[in-house]
Structure formats: C-alpha cells, structure tokens
Amino acid sequence: MATWAERQKTPAKGQADYAPDDTGLRLRVYASGRRCWYIRGRVKRADGEGDPRFVVLGEVPGMGRDQADAEAAKARDMLRRGVDPGAERDATLRAADASRKTFGEVVAEWTAERKPKWRAITIEARRVLFNHDKLHLWRDRQIASITGREVAQHASGIKQNSQQAALGPLRSVFKFAAERGYIKRSPFVEAGISVARSEGNAAPLIEFREGKAPDFSELIAVLDALDTCEKSMPASPWWNIWRVCVQTGQRPSAIIGLRWPELSLDGDEPTWTLPAERSKIKLESKIPLSKDGAAILREIPRGESALIWPGRSGTKPLKYPEGEAKMINAVLAERGFPLGWKPGRARDSVASWLEFQSDATERAMALLLGHKPPAENTRRKHYAKIGAEHQARTLIERYSAAVRDARAGKVARVVALRKGA
C-alpha cells in the first residue's frame, strides 16, 4: 500500500509542498516525480537569528515518516546550536566521496591539473612512472588505505640519485590528495620520508619524444650562439667555459674552477681528476672527458696561474658574467628559443640523455654527473669502479658524437619557429 508521501499529487510543472501535520515537517514533490522531506529554520547566532535555511532531510521512498521526524528533530537541534545542517550534510557527503577516491583517480586529477605546465619529456616520464608495476598495484585501491609503511617500503628500494624522479611525483600526488581532503595526511609525512633533491632546473636543451629521435635544436642553437658571440668578444673566456659545460654536464662551479694539474689531456683517454676538496660529494673523481671536450681544453693557452680561467687576482676563479650571458640570450631569443641560456641546462641535458640510454648503469651515471656512487659489495668494489669508468667513457663519447652529428645535420631535428612566424 502506498504511503501518505507517495500518494501526494505530482504537479504538472514546478513543485508542490505538502504538510502531513502541523509539526513543521514538509514534503516537496517535483514535476519530475522526485519527493523529499524538508524543514525550514534559521541558524541561531550570538547576535540574533541567522539566515533562513531550507534543510533537506531525505528522499522518498528511501526515508519513511518516522525517520523523517527523527531527522527533523536532529536538524532543529543543530540549528539551535548554530550549526547549518545542510552544510554539515554536504561536508559528510564530500568526506564519504573523498574516502572512496582511488589512487588512480587522484593521479589522473593531479596530472590533469599539472600537465599544461609540463614539458613533453616530463609528461612521458610521469606516464611511465605511474604505470610501473609497483605503482600499478595501487591503482584501484582507495588512496586513504595506502599506509606510510607501504610507501616507506616502496621508497627503500630507490637509490638516492633517482629519488627525485621516482619519488618526487608520488609525494606530490599524496600532498595533492591531502589538500583536497581525500586523505587526512600524506603517508610521506606519516612515515617521515624525505626525498633527495635533484640538481638543476629540469630544463634540458634536448627535447626527448617517445618513438622519435631526440631533438637537439636548442642545444645546437646554443653552440651556434657561442660561436656568434665569440666573434664580437674573442678575448672572453666564457665561450670556452660554456662549451666545456655542454660537453661534460659537470657542475658549472667545478668547471669555472678547473685547474691544469687536474687534467690529463694526452693520449686516447683524456681524464679530469676532480679533487675531493673541490667536489660537492667530497670524494675524488676521475671523470672521463670526450675527445671533443678535451680538444677545447687543449686549445686554451696556458698561463702562470694553476687556474685555467683565473680571475683578476690570478688566484681565484672568474665571477659569473652578466654581459656575455645577455648576449647569448639575445641570440637565442632571436632564433625562437626564449627560455635562454643557463649553464645548468647543459648539465640537465646530459643527465636527461643518460636516462634514455638503456645501458647506462647507476654507477657510470653517478661518475659523469658528480653524484655519490651507489653502495656495492666491498669485495667487488675495485671491479665495479673499473667497469664504471670504462662505461662512463663510452657514454660521454657517445653523447659527444650525438651532439657533433646533430650539429652537422646528420640526425633529423625540428627547427623552432621565430615568434610570429
């Protein structure tokens, strides 16, 4: 048998309100057939009555009359205490919806918000990261169910040199979830997990695209700009300093402070021995130099100072210039590359290129980029070191050849358009 609420007439259009008695409980019936119980009231304020409120209690037939009376009593009590039942109900529903959010859904939300600001290489790196087997297992799980212990276990297998790329985006996703109210706090905070910071500004001069050859256009434009600017200021040492930055990917500060005794440029295996006191990682490193990189250094006249590029005092390195950097940026902007030149971008280029080499080991990459080497079995340390030096030399020669070939036009590359073209 139909209840009183179900028997009330549905209006042809709009809505109609009905009262079962004089208790203040009302039934609203819409032309669509929807029916809901409601009451009207005001939120009590310290300075008097507040704004009127239309408080929906529940739907018919899901809520019967007895339940509607009970919900009405609760709502009136909340109004008297200064609480808006509607806002409270919405918050409860949002919390319930948030608790059902899966890890995969949150990743999709975070990606959609951040993606317009990412470079193509970043988009591809994020896609690969979140489709990895380890994170794929979390995809359909409620994000609130992922614990700090699980995240710590996942992070424990990631080497320090790779933490920013592998854990940085994951940490951002959980932070995003906490800000949206999907979780109370990030499991990174819960477990006290820190992520080792990467260096540089993640803006390589080479564009990497899935299934296509790397685009060296911007890197070649930088080398062309160095040649162009050198014709205007042939006495400036900065053109060669920055060429060495491009060829090595080492920290600009270490290159500016290069000393002749650190270099061994004779023979087929030129090497730069960076002493521990000048190294950021406080370890001596024998860094393989490419033949092209060594050729640049051989052409530099040797003076009385041990420094290759001494400052005015002859005992301290040069200070970073303003004029030469502006000259390069002006040339690059004219050629359609508005991001400009920063020596750290050369380092980012080598680091990104190495990431795309399937045979690049962690130890060889650490040697070329001046990172701390990964831990190894002590008994095999000597062999691991020799193997890393050999592979690092192979990799830096391969990189140098790729730059040389790109500049000679031997690989397909997209030429950037000028503004307005």
**pLDDT at position 200:** 45
Supply the DSSP symbol for 161.
Answer: G
Please state, as a whole number, how many other Cβ atoms lie within 10 Å of the Cβ of residue 189: 14
**pLDDT at position 385:** 57
**pLDDT at position 275:** 94
Q: Where are the beta strands (DSSP E) in 109-211?
A: none
**pLDDT at position 401:** 94
**H or E element at residue 30:** strand 26-30
Mean pLDDT by 10 residues, the chain (421 residues): 90 94 93 92 74 86 91 88 76 60 91 84 84 86 90 80 78 88 86 62 73 85 95 94 95 93 92 93 92 95 91 86 90 89 91 84 89 62 64 94 89 43 34
**Cβ atoms of 220 and 406 closer than 8 Å:** yes
Domains 4-96 and 103-191 share a fold: no
* Phi, psi (deg, nearest 5) at residue 123: -60, -45
**Cβ atoms of 200 and 347 closer than 8 Å:** yes
Peptide bond into 317 cis (omega under 30): no
Describe the strand order of the beta sheet including 263-264 as a list of residue ranges.
263-264, 271-274, 285-288
**pLDDT at position 377:** 46
**pLDDT at position 201:** 47
Q: 217-407 in CATH: which number?
A: 1.10.443.10
**pLDDT at position 416:** 43
CA distances, 61 to each of 34, 35, 93, 157, 288 (Å): 10, 8, 20, 54, 78
**Domain covering 103-191 assigned CATH 1.20.1300 in the classification:** no
CATH class, domain 4-96, is alpha beta
User: What residues are paired with 37 via a beta bridge?
Assistant: 27, 58
Q: What does the domain layout of the chain look like in residue ranges?
A: 4-96, 103-191, 217-407
Residue written as token pair 């359909």: 140
Long-range contacts of 314-319 (CB under 8 A, 24+ apart): 317/256, 317/257, 318/237, 318/238, 318/241, 318/256
In angstroms, how far is the first alpha carbon of the chain from the final one? Answer: 75
What pLDDT, in 10s, does the model give residues 166-204? 888 998 999 988 888 888 889 988 888 766 544 444 588
